[in-house]
Structure 1
Amino acid sequence: MQTRQVDVAIIGAGTAGMGAYRAALAHTRSVVVVESGPYGTTCARVGCMPSKLLIAAAEAAHAAAHAGPFGIRVPSVTIDGAAVMQRVRSERDRFVGFVTDTVDQWPAEHRLRGRAHFVDEHTLQVDGADGALQLEARRIVIAAGSHPQVPPAWRDAVGERLIVSDDVFGWTTLPASVAVLGAGVIALELAQALHRLGVRVRMYARGNRVGPLTDPVLQVRSRQTFDQVMPLTLNASDLQLRREGDQVIVQSGADEQRFDWVLAAAGRRPNVDALQLHNTRLPLDAQGVPLFNRRSAQVGDSHVFIAGDASDELALLHEAADEGRIAGDNAGRFPDVRVRPRRAPLAVVFSDPQIMIAGQSHAQLVAEGVDFETGEVSFTDQGRSRVMLKNQGALHVYAERSSGRFLGAEMLGPAAEHIGHLLAWSVQRGDTVQQMLDSPFYHPVIEEGLRTALRNLQRALRMGPPPIERCLDCGPGA
Structure 2
Amino acid sequence: MAREVDVVVIGGGAVGENAADYAVRSGLSAMIVEAELLGGECSYWACMPSKALLRTGHAVAAVQRLPGTTADFDPAAVLARRDRFTSNWNDEGQVEWARSAGIDVVRGVGRLAGERTVEVDGPAGPLTVTARRAVVVCTGSVPVRPPVPGLDTVRTWSSRDATSAKEIPARLGVLGGGVVGSELSQAFQRLGAQVTLLEQGPRVLPPFEPFAGERVAAALRARGVDVRLGHALDGVEPAGDAVVICVGDERIAVDELLVATGRRPNTDSVGLETVGLRPGERLEIDDTGLVQGVDGQWLYAAGDVTGRAMLTHQGKYAARITGTVIGARSIGEELDTRPWGEHVTTADHGAVPQVVFTDPEVASAGLTEAQARAAGLDVRVVDLPIAVGGSSLQADGYDGAARMVVDEGRGVLVGMTFVGQDVAEMLHAATVAIVGEVPMHRLWHAVPAYPTISEVWLRLLEAYRTPG
Give the structure-1-normalised TM-score: 0.86
Pick from 182, 191, 194: which aligns with 2:188?
194
1:291 aligns with one of 280, 284, 292 = 284
* Contact 1:7-1:28 within 8 A present in 2 as well: no
Answer yes or no: is 1:352 the counterpart of 2:351: no
2:249 to 247, 251, 254: 254
Among 212, 215, 224, the residue aligned to 2:209: 215
Residues 1:311 and 1:245: Cα distance change in structure 2 (over 3 Å)? same
Quote the residue 2:340 is aligned against: none
Aligned residue type for 2:143: P
The Cα offsets for residues 350-389 of structure 1, whole Å up to 9 and x where unpaired, read as: 111110111222232122111110111113x544334413
Kept in 2, the 8 Å contact 1:376–1:454? The answer is: no
Q: 1:434 to 1:226 in 2, by over 3 A?
A: farther
Partner of 1:475: none
Q: Which residue of 1 aligns with 2:324?
A: 329
Deviation at residue 61 of structure 1 after TM alignment:
4.2
**What is the CA–CA distance in structure 1 between the aligned matches of 2:118 and 2:316, rounded to whole Å?**
24
Conserved? CA contact 1:213–1:219, under 8 Å: no
Q: Using a 3 Å threshold, how does the CA distance of structure 1 residues 223 and 153 change in structure 2: closer, same or farther?
A: closer
> Which residue pairs with 1:80 in the alignment?
74
Amino acid across the alignment from 1:385:
S
Question: What is the distance in 1 between the residues matched to 2:10 and 2:380?
Answer: 44
Question: 2: distance between equivalents of 1:8 and 1:274?
Answer: 20
Q: Mind listing any 5+ residue stretches in structure 2 that lack a counterpart?
A: 338-342
* Cα distance in 1, alignment partners of residues 151 and 219 from structure 2: 34
Tell whether the 8 Å contact from 1:214 to 1:363 is kept in structure 2 after alignment.
Answer: no
One-letter code aligned to 1:236: H
AA of the residue aligned to 1:128? G
| 1:456 partnered with 2:450 | no
- The residue aligned with 2:167 is 173
Distance 2:363 2:207 in 1: 8
Alpha-carbon separation, structure 2, partners of 1:200 and 1:90:
26
Tell me the CA shift for residue 254 of structure 1: 2.6
Q: What is the distance in 2 between the residues matched to 1:375 and 1:133?
A: 58
Distance 1:306 1:174 in 2: 38
Q: 8 Å contact 1:121–1:281 — kept in the other structure? A: no
CA 1:238 to 1:314, structure 2 compared with 1: closer, same or farther past 3 Å?
same
Shift in alpha-carbon separation, 1:132–1:258, aligned structure 2, 3 A = same
Structure 1 unaligned residues grouped into runs of 5+: 463-478
In the alignment, the residues of structure 1 paired with residue 401 and residue 440 of structure 2 have an alpha-carbon distance, to the nearest angstrom, of: 18
Q: State the distance in 2 between where 1:155 and 1:167 align.
A: 20
C-alpha distance in 2, partners of 1:7/1:85? 42
Any idea what the Cα deviations from partners look like across 1:408-431, whole Å, max 9, x if unmatched?
Answer: 112222332122111111112211
Q: Distance in 2 between the 1:31 and 1:443 partners?
A: 48
Letter in 2 for 1:89: D
Match of 1:25 in 2: 24
Counterparts of 2:409 and 2:151, CA distance in 1: 55
For residue 237 of structure 1, the aligned residue among 232, 235, 243 is 232
Structure 2 equivalent of residue 39 of structure 1: 38
Normalised to the residue count of structure 2, the TM-score between the two structures is 0.87
State the SS of the aligned residue for 2:86: helix
Residue 31 of structure 2 contacts residue 105 of structure 2 at CA under 8 Å; is this kept in 1? yes
Rounded to whole Å, the distance in 1 between the matches of 2:216 and 2:165 is 30
3-state SS of the aligned residue for 2:466? helix
Q: What letter matches 1:72 in structure 2?
A: T
Q: Distance in 2 between matches of 1:73 and 1:122?
A: 61
Write the distance in 2 (CA, Å) between the matches of 1:6 and 1:58. Answer: 47
Q: Indicate the SS of the match to 1:44.
A: helix
- How big is each residue's C-alpha offset from its partner over 1:284-336, in whole Å with a ceiling of 9 and x where there is no partner? 6x96111101x301112632110122222222222122211222222334364
CA contact (8 A) 2:151 2:236 kept: no
Q: Does 1:423 align with 2:418?
A: no
Please tell me whether the aligned partners of residues 233 and 245 of structure 2 are also in contact (alpha carbons under 8 angstroms): no
Cα distance in 2 for partners of 1:361, 1:397 equals 9
Matching residue's letter, 1:298:
L
Distance change in 2, residues 1:55/1:97 (3 Å)? farther
Give 3-state SS (helix, strand or coil) of 1:315's partner. Answer: coil
In the alignment, what sits opposite 2:314? 319
Letter in 2 for 1:244: A
| 1:48 and 2:72 correspond | no
* Cα separation, partners in 2 of 1:415 and 1:156, compared to 1, 3 Å: closer
Q: Which residue of 2 aligns with 1:271?
A: 266
Matched, 1:394 2:401: yes
Whole-Å separation in 2 of the counterparts to 1:158 and 1:276: 31
For 2:463 and 2:50, locate their aligned partners in 1 and report how far apart those are by CA, in whole Å: 36
Query: Which residue in 2 is equivalent to 1:136?
Result: 130
Distance 1:390 1:265, change over 3 A: farther
Distance in 2 (CA, whole Å) between partners of 1:390 and 1:442 is 21
Check whether the contact 1:354–1:415 (CA below 8 A) recurs between aligned residues. Answer: yes
Change (3 A) 1:16 1:390: farther
CA distance in 2, matches of 1:308, 1:423: 23
Amino acid at match of 2:68: G
* AA aligned opposite 2:13: G
Change (3 A) 1:393 1:281: same
Determine the C-alpha separation between the residues in 1 that align with 2:325 and 2:447: 41
Task: Look up the match of 1:470.
Answer: none
Decide which moves more: 198-207 or 450-459.
450-459
Post-superposition CA distance 1:144-195 (Å, at most 9, x none):
1223333465784443x31112122332232212111111111111111111
The verdict on how the C-alpha distance between 1:239 and 1:454 changes in structure 2, with shifts beyond 3 A counting, is farther
Matched, 1:373 2:366: no
How far did residue 107 of structure 1 move?
A: 5.7
The one-letter amino acid of 2:380's match is E
Note closer, same or farther for the CA distance 1:28–1:432 as it changes in structure 2 (3 Å cut): closer
The total of aligned residue pairs comes to: 449
Q: Quote the Cα distance in structure 2 between the aligned partners of 1:89 and 1:154.
A: 35
Query: 1:375, 1:458 within 8 Å by CA — same for their partners in 2?
Result: no
Over 3 Å counting, the alpha-carbon distance change for 1:118 and 1:403 in structure 2 is closer
CA distance in 1, matches of 2:7, 2:17: 13
Check conservation: 2:112, 2:119, Cα contact below 8 A: yes
CA distance in 1: counterparts of 2:161 and 2:233, whole angstroms: 26
